[in-house]
């Protein structure tokens, strides 16, 4: 018999907050993680996005914190600002009737505002790793009394290179703290971190309810490395996805494949960790809004993409672990819809595929081209090549734009170029003469694209600042 939230030992004020948001019964990760956390035990939770893990650690935090004490009593570390904001909103909801103050600290927003919020209170701090360290170094965030620490999406912190910084932060918290670590996958460095910083943890492993094999048709496609780009184009044209995520292992491969598909006339965007935050936000919004049918992404960047309209997942590179495979194909077949997952397998990757088949308990059929569907949607604008088109006089006309914001607002050349390529869809080589001054910046773009660029970027957020562009002269 399934339990209710009241059966887990939560207080009436927390149950009241849960009723307000319509939560009726706990998910498996909540049912298994909340009791040991309420007992003060350390917990390792292996669960992916969509399983309800935020409430699994968030509800015990709300129960644990004493609103009468001004110190920072709980810290939640997140790998990205998107997750930081999402967790903060959830904790504020859970603690609405408890008088608990939750402060979010993340990069890309004014640090002085966050310092002021910390001075005013802050029982719980949710933060990205870099900004937390920055605030500690400025003595604005003191963790001497922090008795509860959560590492959320630890494997993403590993992929982003944050583990050393995470250890530095943990070393500044009391040795008697209670620690919870949540991660979709458990690679060796995460296990080592858990062994070093968690005390006799309760381990919970939950598969996402959305990941049921019967809602995702899985296929494999043998391919030599040289023929993979052409095979991918063939697959996308044959499958005609409404929306597809093409997963690759590296950021370099992500950029290369994006350019290949774009130069074949496909409406495609790239998403990886080296892009500026503004660029990533623009791509995420375009994909979530259905304006882009194909997304080439690394695993890290695609975290948090909980989109029910994704019809296809393509593993352009075989995932490094069976858990990652499960995590990837869980991006399709959502909310009762059927999905399709196609994995490219190079000859040297057969063992990795066999490990995946053992893990999911079924063999993966060979992909065969069936009836070719509608063509993959292409860009409405003229097809662009890797170099800007040149008019007959030898030089395509350009115009100069002024951007409101410069060094004083934290803008860099890479941010402006990133916004123009992602949100406005320009080729990188079509962006010229970027100059970032103290309070404003300049950039030259093809004259034929200028009005469209201004419209696309008007109000687009980069480093927490809303962009305004206008023609010069």
In a domain, 114, yes or no: yes
Residues 233 and 288 in one domain: yes
In a domain, 375, yes or no: no
| pLDDT of 140 above 70 | yes
CB atoms within 10 A of CB 385: 12
User: Helices (DSSP H) in 347-435: which residue ranges?
Assistant: 350-360, 413-422
| pLDDT of 434 above 80 | no
- pLDDT tens digits along 205-224: 886 544 445 578 899 999 99
In a domain, 263, yes or no: yes
- Tell me which of 326, 342, 366 is where a domain ends: 366
Q: Which domain holds residue 260?
A: 213-366
Residue 112: give its domain's CATH number: 3.40.50.300
Residues 124 and 24 in one domain: yes
In a domain, 416, yes or no: yes
Residue 436: give its domain's CATH number: 3.30.70.330
Residues 310 and 427 in one domain: no
Residues 218 and 162 in one domain: no
Least confident among 251-265, 298-312, 342-356: 298-312
* pLDDT of amino acid 305: 61
Asked if residues 27 and 4 have their Cβ atoms less than 8 Å apart, the reply is no
Q: Which residues pair with 469 in a beta bridge?
A: 403
Residues 323 and 434 in one domain: no
In a domain, 105, yes or no: yes
Residues 287 and 193 in one domain: no
* pLDDT of amino acid 165: 94
> Which residue in the block uniquely carries the two structure tokens 């990188």?
428
With pLDDT > 70 as the criterion, what percentage of the chain qualifies? 87
Asked if residues 151 and 165 have their Cβ atoms less than 8 Å apart, the reply is no
Residues 355 and 405 in one domain: no
The total of structural domains in the chain comes to 3
In a domain, 53, yes or no: yes
Residues 125 and 229 in one domain: no
**Mean pLDDT on 185-199:** 92
* pLDDT of amino acid 152: 93
- pLDDT tens digits along 381-415: 433 333 333 232 335 688 888 888 887 777 777 77
Judging by beta carbons within 10 Å of its beta carbon (0-12, 13-18, 19+), is residue 367 exposed, middle or buried?
buried
Residues 42 and 155 in one domain: yes
Residues 226 and 88 in one domain: no
The listed range with the strongest mean pLDDT (13-22, 122-131, 272-281, 456-465) is 122-131
In a domain, 380, yes or no: no
When pLDDT is cut at 50, 70 and 90, the band that residue 376 belongs to is: very low
Mean pLDDT computed over every residue of the chain: 82
If we measure between CA atoms, which residue out of 294, 315, 316 comes closest to residue 240? 294
Least confident among 31-35, 45-49, 159-163, 255-259: 45-49
With pLDDT > 90 as the criterion, what percentage of the chain qualifies? 34
Residues 341 and 193 in one domain: no
- Answer yes or no: pTM beyond 0.75: no
- Tell me which of 179, 205, 231 is where a domain ends: 205
- Tell me which of 344, 366, 388 is where a domain ends: 366
Asked if residues 83 and 304 have their Cβ atoms less than 8 Å apart, the reply is yes
In a domain, 30, yes or no: yes
Residues 113 and 186 in one domain: yes
């Amino acid at each position: 018999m399934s339990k209710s939230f009241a059966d887990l030992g939560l207080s009436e004020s927390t149950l009241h907050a849960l009723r307000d948001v319509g939560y009726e019964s706990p998910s498996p990760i909540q049912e298994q993680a909340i009791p040991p956390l309420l007992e003060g035990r350390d917990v390792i939770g292996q669960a992916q996005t969509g399983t309800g893990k935020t409430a699994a650690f968030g509800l015990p935090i709300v129960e644990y914190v004493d609103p009468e004490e001004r110190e920072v009593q709980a810290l939640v570390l997140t790998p990205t600002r998107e997750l930081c904001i999402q967790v903060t909103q959830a904790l504020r909801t859970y603690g609405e009737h408890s008088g608990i103050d939750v402060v979010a600290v993340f990069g890309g927003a004014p640090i002085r505002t966050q310092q002021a919020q910390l001075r005013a209170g802050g029982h719980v701090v949710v933060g990205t790793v870099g900004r937390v360290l920055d605030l500690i170094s400025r003595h604005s965030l003191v963790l001497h009394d922090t008795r509860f620490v959560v590492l959320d999406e630890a494997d993403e912190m590993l992929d982003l290179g944050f583990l050393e910084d995470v250890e530095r932060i943990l070393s500044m918290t009391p040795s008697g703290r209670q620690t919870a670590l949540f991660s979709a996958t458990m690679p060796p460095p995460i296990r080592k971190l858990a062994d070093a910083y968690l005390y006799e943890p309760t381990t919970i492993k939950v598969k996402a309810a959305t990941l049921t094999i019967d809602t995702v048709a899985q296929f494999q496609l043998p391919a030599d490395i040289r023929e993979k780009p052409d095979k991918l184009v063939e697959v996308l044209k044959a499958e005609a996805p409404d929306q597809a995520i093409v997963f690759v292992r590296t950021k370099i491969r992500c950029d290369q494949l994006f350019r290949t598909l774009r130069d074949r006339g496909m409406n495609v965007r790239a998403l990886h960790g080296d892009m500026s935050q503004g660029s990533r936000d623009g791509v995420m919004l375009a994909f979530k809004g259905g304006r882009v049918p194909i997304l080439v992404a690394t695993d890290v960047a695609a975290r948090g993409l909980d989109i029910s309209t994704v019809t296809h997942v393509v593993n352009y590179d075989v995932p490094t672990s069976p858990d990652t495979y499960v995590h990837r194909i869980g991006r399709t077949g959502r909310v009762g819809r059927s999905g399709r997952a196609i994995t490219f397998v190079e000859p040297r990757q057969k063992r990795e595929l066999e490990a995946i088949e053992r893990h999911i308990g079924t063999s993966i059929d060979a992909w065969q081209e069936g009836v070719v569907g509608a063509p993959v949607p292409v860009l409405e604008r003229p097809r662009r090549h890797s170099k800007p088109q040149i008019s007959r006089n030898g030089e395509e006309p350009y115009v100069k734009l002024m951007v409101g914001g410069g060094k004083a607002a934290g803008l860099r050349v890479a941010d402006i170029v990133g916004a123009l390529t992602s949100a406005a869809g320009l080729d990188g080589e079509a962006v010229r003469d970027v100059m970032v001054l103290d309070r404003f910046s300049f950039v030259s773009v093809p004259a034929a694209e200028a009005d469209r660029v201004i419209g696309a970027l008007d109000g687009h957020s980069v480093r927490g600042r809303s962009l305004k562009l206008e023609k010069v002269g």
